[in-house]
Every structure is written in structure tokens, then in C-alpha cells.
Structure 1
Amino acid sequence: MPSPDPPANVRLRHRLADALAQYVADEDLTQTEAAARLGVTQPRVSDLVRGKVERFSIDALVAMLERVERPVSLGLGPDAGEGALLSGVLDAVSPFVALLDPDGTILEVNRSVFEASDVTPEDVNGRPFWEGYWYGHDPDLQAVVRDACERAARGESAAYSAVVRTSETGRLPIDVTVQPVWDGAGRVTRLVASAVDVSRRAATEAAWHETETQYRTLFESIDQGFCVLEMIYRSGRAVDYRFLEANPAFQRHTGLVDPVGHTACELIPGLERYWVETYARVAETGEPARFQQGSAALGREFSVEAFRVGPAEARRVALLFTDVTEQRRAEAALRDANETLEEQVEARTYEVRHLARALTIAEQEVRRRIAYVLHDDLQQVLHGAQIEAHVADAERVGAVLDRALRLTRSLSHELSPPVLREEEVAVLLDALAEQHRQRHGLDVAVEAAGVAVPEEHLRILLYQIVGELLSNVARHAETGRATVRAERVDGRVRFEVVDQGVGFEPPAPAALRGGSGLGLPTVWERVTLVGGQLDVDSTPGRGTRVTLELPSGGGWAERERPGL
């Protein structure tokens, strides 16, 4: 069981409790009003007025008197009884306490002071308070302590904070109050200096300051926008929000300058209702939200994390967000590019497949031509030579064999014309003109002086395509004349095959792309695959002009197929 209070402590408790009870009576306070003023609960006031002083510590009673600014007079006198009471009181209280003369001389120091520092009563009693061991290491602090004593001697309350010396290496942060003590005549007869150890509070404040510093460093340095906002309500409905904090990145992500203290609707006219409703829901329910949303009013799109901060009734929300407008645009552009690429690949795949089909047909046509020559011409000639040999007509056999040789030479010439080795276009076109004159009776005029095509694969292509176009003239134009022109234009070579025949309705581009057979669709496919262009200009009754352009002379790369 705890030991009973010393008699001096009991007497002091009663005197302090009586002073508080007298205050309540003087002010004519109800217990509820007294509790509010004294900073305690109503049952504690009831204990006080009923004299249950054992339920209060001396510190608590003194604190209540200080709260209502009721001066404490100990009524110190010269008799030993009062001195014993004083010593008992000083040693009973937990803070550090010193009793001083009005001039600041130390009269008495309680036991807590000696327990906390390397001093004895002989080291301090009779010395000015500011010259005590605790302050001797800091002249500036001594001046503060002396000023506090002088103010208390004039009847004022003085307070200061200090870091005092407790040993050669020890230091202790304290809060000090110096209070005057009056006698019955209202004169200041003593000073009471009391100090409280605030080392724990100082450590807590230091930790808080460090945390605050770390938070502020993070707040200032993160790349994401961060802000704290407070919801604004009217008639129970969220209508706006005010920015309470915003980091430097906030402006970069939103374009808003100095938002703190302003509302969203003030800064962003036409702000969508979505934002207010979303943040109000977070503030009211406490459920965080993570979303991406665009704002037409700001012309931006954001990735946002929203979460409630502080108590629910504060209606505050913190936002961590990033402007993703450019990212979304890049993603959209990439999607469009992929879609375009897929379309181009699909179109090219179709073209290659269509050309493969056309080339297969062309190959078969060449095979038929060779078979025709071998069967209908060469075999018949050789069979005739065999018959003539039986009748022993050597002259006629020789003539037949000469014809056979001419047929084989013609076939060889058609399969691999020697003129393809010549870079001069005029040589190639003259050979085609002569071929069609002999085969179809078509008179072809060639205008191609000074034009050369150094690329062999283009010469082969030109030979085949111009030959096909001239064959079309011979078969369909119902005319005996045609003109072939060639010229070089800006790194490209241009050819025109012109006739004044019956003409026709030229096919639409879609018909060329999806056409079949060995006519214009095949020509168009082969030209566009090497980056060229084909244009067909014809009117019924007014002839036809087919223009062909191919890249030549400066290096070439297949490019996107142009339209007709």
C-alpha cells in the first residue's frame, strides 16, 4: 500500500483545494461551468467542493489555480512550522522548484533539482538564481533568467525555455515559469521558479520536424502533381473544392498557377461535374479512387489517385496525379500507325498474290506460245522436210530446214531479246516497233533520243509492258499507227503509248486492283510494285494515251502505291 501523505502535504492540499472552492463560490459557478473553466470533468469538481482532496495531487490543484489566474499565497512566516511546511511542499511536487527572494537569491530548492543535476544545496543556496550551476555555461541565457526574476519581482509572471546544464556533459531542455508570491498586504515577498522537463516533448518535436522535413522534401521533389483539397458544400451537396496545398509539379501537370486558396471553379471555368462528384465520394466514404479521365475544360487527360486525409468531418482529399495527354496521343498515333501498317500489309499481300497469279498465267501463256511454235510451225516444217527427203528433193529439203532455223531463232529472240542488254531506250523501243510491224502490220513511231535506263530489271519490265500495250493497240484499237515516247523527268523515266484508235472507257482504280487476265490489271500491278505510276486516258472515238513512270537513275526504293 502507498504510504500516507506527510502532514505538510495534506495541509497544503487542503489550502489549495479551499482556494479553488472559494473561487467557485465567488464566481457563483455551476459545477458544469466550473469544470469548463478549470479544465476538468464535472465529477472532479464535485470531489473538490465536497472536500475529497486526497483525489488530487498538489500539481493538479496548482494547475487549476493557474488556469483561472488565481494567485497562490503560501503565507510564509518565520516560524519553524511554516518552514517545515514549505520544505515538505517543495519536495512533494514533481517539477523542479526553487524558492527565491524578490532580488532573485536562492532560498530553497526542492529535491528533484538535486536528483537531476550534479549540485548540492551548498552549491546553490544564497546565490543569485541566474548564477546557478544550471545557467553558468551560457551568458546569454543568464541574462534571460535575470530578466524573468526582475519581472516576477514587479508582480508579473515570466516564462522562458532553456537548455540547462546538469553535469559537465549533460544538458536538459526545460520550460520555466517564475511566479510572484504576495503577502496579506499585497507585497511580493517571494518568487517561485518552477521548471518542467520537456526532453520527451523536444524529442517528439525533433522527430516531427524531421518527418515534416522529409515530407516536405518528397512533396517538393516528386515528378507527379500532388495537392490537398477541401470539399465545399451548399445545402448538403458538394459544389466545388478549394486547394489547400500544391507541390511545384502541380503547375506543370495542370497549367494552373498559384492554386492554393482558390477553388477549382474559380480557376477552371466550365469544369466538368465529374471531378467534384468523384472527390466528394472519396471524402464522404473514405474509399480511395484510382482512374484516368480527360478534362475538356483543361484540354488534358490525367491519371489520378485520390484518397481521404484527416478526419471524415474535415472533408479533405489528397490527389497524386500525372498529365498523360501526350502519352495518350502517342498511343493513339501508334494504334493508327499499326492499323495503317496492317492495311498496307494486307494490300501488299493481296497485290503479291494477284501478281503471282498473273505471272503464273503469263508463264503458261509463254509455254503455250512455245508449244504452238513447236507444234504448228517447227514440227510441221520438220515433217515436211521428212516427206521431201523421201522424194529425194534436196533443194526443197534445204528450204524447209532454213525455215525451221528461222523459227527457232525467232523463238529464241522472243524469249531473251538481245536488245535488253542495251541501256539506250531507243534501241529497245525500235526493236519492239519492228517486231509489231512484222507481226501485226502496226506502224510504230519512236521518240526516245538520249533516254537511258541503266537498271536491267527495269529494261526487262519496260520491254514486256510496252510490248503488251502495243499488242493491245494492234488487237483492239482498230488503227494501224501508234507512237511511243520516252523522256527523263526528275530521276524518273516516263513513257507514253499513244494511238488514235477507237478508244474505250478506262477502268476505275478498283477495277485495276482487282482485275484479272494479262491486260491493264497486270500492267498496273507490276508497275506499282516497283514504285511506279500508271495513268490511262481514253475516250471512246478519240484514241488512248497510256502514261507509265518508273524510278530510274538515282537508286530506287519501293514506296507506297500511288493512286491513278
Structure 2
Amino acid sequence: MSGDLRSAALDMLFAQDLPIGLALLDSDLRYCAINATLARANGLEVAAHLGRSVVDVLPQAAHDLIPLLRGVLETGRPHHFQIDAEVPSLPGVASEWDASYLPVKDDQGQVAGVLVRAANRSQERADERLRRARQESDQRLRRVLDNLFVFVGVLSPDGRVQEANRAPLDAGGFTLEQIRGREFWLTPWWTHDPLLVDWLKDAAARVARGETVRRDVVVRMAGDTRMDIDFMMAPLRDDQGRVTHLIPSGIDISARRESERALARSEDRFRRAFEGATIGMGLIDTDGRIQLANESLARMFGYTRDELAGKAVHDLVPTRQREAHHGHVGSFMRQPALRYMAKRQELYALRRDGTEIAVEIGLNPMPDSDGQQVLATVNDVTERRAAQSQIERALQEKTALLNEVHHRVKNNLQVISSLLSLQARHADDRVRDALRDSQSRVHSMSLLHQLLYERSDFSALEMGTYLRRLIQLLRDTYLGQSPQIDLLVETPQDLPWRMELQRAIPCGLVVTELVTNAIKHAFPDGRTGQIRVRLGGTALGEVGSPPAATGGVGDHDRLAEADPPWLEVVDDGVGLPPGMAPGQGRSLGLQLLPLLADQCGARLGMESQAGTRARLTWCRDAVGEAHA
């Protein structure tokens, strides 16, 4: 009977890949025919159903299905129903089925079998969810690829373009439709280079045979520009291992290439500077061995560059210093810093022939992926140290000579002073006073040379000390033990008041003349009084010369704001006679004052009010200009 049922039309129907499951059962509920859709749902091949009963194929669902099928056979009426049943394809899961059982009658009108139409709604929904998930995944992948500036394409095994992401298409200035179906090596990216076209054609053939190729290439982009990419083409295989597609991909490496070129240029500049340096340079590793040496270093030590490579730096140190040198190198490698090793020590190096040279060594840490490295710069300073020693000896000799000169000048002035003193013993009072004034002037100059000799500083004189000693000499010369007149010196305590030698001498003579004149004429008839010598203003450095380094440009600004340096001699005596001014009168001292003031670079002013005040003022502009 089953043979009668299976007509050619039914065979054609069951052979179709329909979305719904179909099966034909005979009166014994055995499978006469089944399509692939229902066979897959049942979890068996089509051939595994034929001739077997429903109970054999669907043992878990048979107790629900058999009564329904028997009912159709017995009544001859179709039956439509929904049921939850477990099938072998989904063990342990009750699937929702939508089924129809239709009676199949023979030529006599008797029910000879059942036509089953069944749809696994649970499976359909699962398949739909899977389909949507795959579609969303494909869309996400497409969006990701389209927003990445990487080339990803799909080629057929013969190398024709099927798919490509958007970024390289946009960069190339064309669309997918313009290149789809074309041979990949003939697309606009590659045709600027015939050799590259040939390589890509050969590469596609190799990848179709299962190889993977990769190399850096230059592609053409919109506007006939060029881009460096890291290109790769790999095969895509199916479950049986057959190559179904070729997958080309590329990553923009233009920035990396430019970095590599910049690094190469930098390395070239470094090497040329390294090789062309006139001082010795060597690269030292963490073990204290020379990795690289320039020609200057090799020539300095009497080796070739190849002989220095790999040599321990300790071998270039004199034997007496090697033990300490090991400690220095180890300490430096543990805490590397830009510095001089053995700072403030005289360093010596050992040449190949055993001679020693004086050197200066600079150390510059250069961390590396292989460990700590140090760039050492070595400078042969043997000749410089010899010249420096010669200069120091010459300076010592010059210092000794200047010391002797000032000592002799002081002695000669003391001899002159003694001669004046001897001559004054046999002279009348008027001559004696003139000789004593001259002796005071000689004392002021002699004292200056004595201080220079005592302090061995010939650049300038500290005026506070000088004036105190000078006033003491004048007190001894003119006043003796007399308490009639007080002589006081007031000098600033915060800053030293220094004056260069050529100005200090006339300045001392001015003070001598002013104090002497005050002693003689300010206090007649036995009057008592006071004479004060005062220093004031802001004396930055040496008066009339560039100040000592106390802060740079800021000193000039402070000098412009502060009072200029000044020196004054003040007494509370009877004052000057009416109409008398410096440079006038018969007194030699008064006649000398303007000239001496001009020689020391100051302006002299005198006023008489409740005594006499004479002031030397150094012009702010002159001092500031010298300072600047």
C-alpha cells in the first residue's frame, strides 16, 4: 500500500526544502515519506525514518501523538492541534508544536494513512532569534570595520573583489560598486606600481593554495597620494578545510614609517656627532665595559676602536686607583645621575703605553631596554692643567711681587715721613705746621699700602677699616692725649665699603685734609667739640667700579632706587669763614680738595651751619653705568 501512496507527485513534494515539516504514515503509523525539515526537527536523517514507526522515532512524544493519529485513522477526519512534546533533536526540552493530521484515502475511499504537517514553533522562534542575532552581529561588525582605518576585504578564490570596508574605499576615492568583481591587483590602490601588481597577482594564487603572505607596501590614495601599509592576505577555509575566500587586510603604518625615518635621521646625526667629536666619547654598559668608542677616545688611549670595544673601563684607570674605581662605578650604576664621577678630584687615565694623562670625565645615564648604559665623555686636560699650573705660579709670583712693591712703597713713605719729622724739629712753627701737614698726607698714603700688604688683596680697599686706622693716626699726630676734640668714624655694618686703589688714595687725602683743617680751625680758643667721619648710601661693590656679583640686573635697579654712596666729614665747630669755598684761600689743602675729589670720581660739597659739613658724593649715574 505504501507503494501506491508514494506517487511521483508526492516524491517531488517531499524533496522540496519547505519551511514546514511533512510526513506520510501508513495505517501501522510507519513513515512512508518525510521531508528534510521535519527530519531535522526529529533529530534523524530522512533514511532513518523510513519503515520505522512513530513509537520508534519519537519515543518521548509517542504517548501523546499515537492516540491522535489513531483517531484520524478511525474517524477519517482531520485533526489540528498544538502540543508541547520532546523530540530527539532537543532532548530534555518540551517544544511547542503546531500540527495537522490529515487522513489519506485509497481508491475505495478507505483511510489508508495519515499526512502529517508539523511546525516546531519553539524552534522557529529560536531560529528567528539566532537569525536576528547574526544579522545584528554582522551589522555591528560592518560598522566597526567601516569606522576603523584598516583595509579588510573579501575576495573569491580567483582573486576578484566581493566585499571591502568603507575606510579604504573613502581614502581611495571610489566605491565598492566600482571595484566589485574586478581582479584585486587591478584595483586603483595598486596600479601605480607594475611590480606590485605582479606581486599581488602571484600572492593571490599562493593564498588560494593555502599560504599566508605579508609585507609592507605603498598604496595609492585619492589625489594620487601614497600611504604605507602593513599588508596581509590569508585564506578563509570551510569546515572541510577548503579555501572558500581570500581575506586581504592592511594597517596604516605611515606614522610608524615616519617615526622610523626620524629615528634613523636622529641616529645618523648622533653617530656623525659621536664620530666627529673632538673629545673622547664611549658608551659603557652596566658591567662597566665599553660597547662603543669614537676615534678621539681610541686615539687618546692609544688603541683602535675595535680594541676598545668590550674592554673594561677599569683597565683604563691607573693601578693605584682601580680598587676605588670599582666602587665608584658600582655606586653610579645603582643610582645613575648626570654628574661627574669623583667630583673635585684630579682624575688620571692609563694609556696603552703605560703613561698617565690628566682627564675630565662626564657621565650621562642612558637607560636602554637591555639595561643601564652610560655615555662617558673624556677630555684630555694634561696640557690645560700644565698651563693652569704655570698660570698659578705666575699669579703667585705676581702676588708676591705686588706684595713686595706695596711693602717697599710703604717703607719708602715711612722714610719720607721720618725725614719730614726730623726736619720739623729744627724749623720754626709755621714751617713745622706745613711739614706736619705733609707728613699726615704721607701717612694716609702709607697706611693704604700697608693695608693692601697686610691683606694681600690688591683689587680694592675696604674703606671702613682704612678710615678707622687713618683717623687714629691723625688723632695721634694732632691731638695726642688731649680730650678737647673727639674724632669718630661711622661706617655701615651690613655692606663692606670697598674702593679701588686709584680712587682710594685721593679719597684718603681728601679725608686727611678735611679732618686736619677741622682740628686746626673749627675749635679756636680751646673749645671742645666733635669731628665725625661717616660713610653712607648704598655702596654696591667697589665705588666707581662694577660691584661684586650680588644678584645681577636687580642690583642696578636697587642702586637706582637707593641713595648714592657718600662720605662726609662733619664737625660742630665755628664753621667756615664767610665766602670761603673749596679751591679758594691760600691753604694748600683747600686748594687741593677739588682736584682730589675729581680724581676719586666724586662731587665735593661744603656747607657751614652749626659747624661744617663736607660731603663727597659718587654720582648714581656713573656708578650705575659702571655696574651695568
TM-score normalized by the length of structure 2: 0.38
Bigger fraction of residues in helix? 1
TM-score normalized by the length of structure 1: 0.42
